[in-house]
Amino acid sequence: MNFNILTIFPDLFDTLDHGVIGKAKNNGSFSINLHDIRKHAVNKHGQIDGKPYGGGEGMLMMPQPLKKSLEDIPKNKIGKVIYLSPQGKPLNNIKAKELSTEKSITFICGRYEGIDQRFIDKYVDEEISIGDFIISGGELAALCSIDAIVRHIPGVLGNEDSSENDTFSNGLLKGPQYSRPEIFEEMKVPDVLLSGNHEKIKEWKELKSIEATINRRPELLNNVKLTKKQRKLLEDLTSQRIL
């Protein structure tokens, strides 16, 4: 898989050289091609932004440097063009998995108050947001998006089941997890996890997953297709909360 990044801060993407994502990059599971928008500045001062017509706060990235940066990429390597924007549709695990099947993705990393709408209208295929909050620029959003997408590429994670069992993989939050030692500051690992009874352990994990979702993100249950067993667990938990 190939990622093209249009940015004014290419050094920020050194983060992708670390951890499991860095290993996947070194193994050739995906590649990163950085394109510095300032190389196509409109003047010798490196300007790539201008005041918005009609007034308003801040500056906007102009369309010309963005267009020329996009033209630096071979047409058959551009793939889906995504502008990372708070106006975009939310990125979730389902979307990340869908994007992992693309051969190439080009991320446009906006700065300042955003980018000229004419560039969006002509060249952007999709706008994506990583959450209902504002950050300094699209670079951090691109890093989060790439990490979320790359995890779904076959062979990237050491355990092939990891991406399928992560939080949100089935629409639910993950329940609590425990490691060694068995007792930490007088707090003991739940007995069921030490029992060796895999069926009981699986049932406990499902229960705790649903419990965490009810307590922290109950709205997620509106979009989850539960199994018959999970529905029964949900009913039992709900009745206990009412009582």
Say yes or no: 142 and 172 in one domain: no
Is residue 32 classed as helix, strand or coil in its secondary structure? strand
Say yes or no: 112 and 209 in one domain: no
Say yes or no: 133 and 192 in one domain: no
pLDDT at 224: 83
Say yes or no: 22 and 125 in one domain: yes
Active-site residue flag, 86: yes
Say yes or no: 144 and 186 in one domain: no
The CA distance from 92 to 71, in Å, is 30
Q: What's the gap between Cα 81 and its chain centre? A: 16
In a domain, residue 160? The reply is: no
Catalytic residue selected from 38, 102, 113, 217: 113
Catalytic residue selected from 36, 139, 151, 206: 151
Residues spanned by the domain of 227: 167-242
Amino acid at site 162: S
The CA distance from 54 to 222, in Å, is 42
Catalytic residue selected from 10, 38, 86, 127: 86
Say yes or no: 171 and 135 in one domain: no
Say yes or no: 42 and 100 in one domain: yes
Active-site residue flag, 74: no
In a domain, residue 79? The reply is: yes
CATH number of residue 37's parent domain: 3.40.1280.10
Active-site residue flag, 113: yes
pLDDT at 164: 56
Say yes or no: 133 and 172 in one domain: no
Cβ within 8 Å of residue 37, ≥6 positions away: 6, 7, 8, 48, 61, 65, 66, 69
pLDDT at 243: 45
Q: Nearest to residue 30, comparing CAs of 130, 106, 104, 109?
A: 104
Please report, to the nearest 10 degrees, the dihedral formed by the alpha carbons of residues 195, 200, 205, 210 taken in order.
Answer: -150
Digit-by-digit pLDDT tens for the chain (243 residues) are: 999 999 999 999 999 999 999 999 999 999 999 999 999 999 999 899 999 989 888 999 999 999 999 999 999 999 999 999 999 999 999 999 999 999 999 999 999 889 999 999 999 999 999 999 989 999 999 999 999 999 999 999 865 555 555 555 578 888 999 999 999 999 999 999 999 999 999 999 999 999 999 888 888 888 888 888 888 888 888 877 654
The CA distance from 7 to 108, in Å, is 7
Active-site residue flag, 166: yes
pLDDT at 241: 67
Catalytic residue selected from 72, 164, 166, 235: 166
